[in-house]
């Protein structure tokens, strides 16, 4: 699988998860209760977003080691990738502004993967 295809698959799967009703409801519960139960927020982060970031950073590190990508700061590249996925229409969905499914999930995933490749692909 090409790096681009892998990035599209990762982005699409991430959006599928974070836009699910179950995940959105879980985020709302954790956010509402984190002051009373800080360990809840820590556990949610470590087993959810934190694990995703860790796995993605390891994927990038492998691709840099193989010479496929040029990335000076893996953490920054990881933040850029996942941060770009949380664009306006995704955040609107998470915050309840849109009650329908995001119809262009694959288009967003592809766009983010292409932007990432444009920035980090090894220049000839």
Q: What is the DSSP string of the chain?
A: --HHHHHHHHHHHHHHHHTSHHHHHHHHHHHHHTTT-HHHHHHHHHHTHHHHHHHHHHHHHHHHHTTSB--S-HHHHHHHHHHHHS-HHHHHHHTTS--S--TTHHHHHHHHHHHHHHHHBPP-
pTM score, whole prediction = 0.87
Domains, the chain, ordered by start: 3-120 (1.10.357)
Q: pLDDT for 47-104, tens place per residue?
A: 999 999 999 999 999 999 999 999 999 999 999 999 998 877 777 877 878 665 566 8
């Amino acid at each position: 699988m090409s790096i681009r295809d892998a990035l599209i698959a990762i982005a699409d799967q991430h959006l599928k998860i974070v836009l699910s009703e179950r995940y959105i409801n879980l985020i709302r519960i954790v956010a509402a209760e984190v002051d009373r139960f800080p360990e809840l927020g820590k556990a949610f982060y470590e087993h959810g977003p934190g694990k995703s970031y860790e796995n993605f950073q390891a994927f990038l590190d492998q691709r840099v080691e193989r010479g496929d990508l040029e990335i000076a700061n893996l953490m920054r590249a990881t933040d850029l990738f996942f941060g770009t996925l949380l664009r306006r229409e995704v955040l609107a969905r998470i915050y309840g502004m849109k009650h329908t499914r995001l119809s262009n999930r694959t288009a967003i995933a592809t766009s983010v993967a292409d932007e990432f490749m444009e920035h980090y692909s090894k220049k000839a």
